[in-house]
């Protein structure tokens, strides 16, 4: 078969429901070089502060719904629905939902 399908319902969230949810779809899609994650953050919620310097993975965050701030080492970037940001592996980042509604993002990272 030349394709695979997956849904966030196919995998368990690694984030407790009260904070939103985070579903890693890489294994469900059987990808070799690309990580794909769905992240939902409740108002006031935030993701884990991290960088990808050790893995060399660049990441792209696309906001499907809501708005978030991406806190970087030297600045904060505000993103709304329809916006995306690409991050170098060495850039320290943390996502914050500063809005009044649940934010939904699609996160892609490569290479794995």
Q: Is 2 within the bounds of a domain?
A: no
CATH of the domain at 76: 2.60.120.10
- Number of domains within the chain: 1
Is residue 81 situated within a structural domain?
yes
Token readout for 109 is: 């990272």
Q: What is the pTM of this model?
A: 0.94
pLDDT confidence of residue 55: 94
Tens-place pLDDT, residues 39-80? 999 999 999 999 999 999 999 999 999 999 999 999 999 999
Res 21: pLDDT = 96
Domain assignment of residue 55, given as a range? 17-110
Query: Can you tell me the distance from the alpha carbon of 4 to that of 30, in angstroms, rounded to the nearest whole number?
Result: 7
């Amino acid at each position: 078969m030349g394709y695979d399908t997956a849904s966030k319902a196919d995998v368990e969230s690694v984030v407790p429901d009260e904070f939103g949810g985070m579903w890693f779809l890489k294994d469900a899609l059987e990808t070799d070089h690309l990580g794909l994650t769905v992240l939902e953050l409740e108002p006031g919620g935030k993701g884990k502060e991290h960088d990808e310097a050790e893995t060399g993975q660049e990441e792209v965050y696309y906001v499907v719904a809501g708005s978030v701030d991406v806190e970087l080492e030297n600045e904060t970037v505000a993103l709304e629905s329809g916006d995306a940001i690409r991050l170098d592996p060495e850039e320290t980042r943390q996502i914050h939902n500063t809005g009044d509604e649940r934010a939904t993002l699609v996160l892609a990272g490569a290479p794995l």
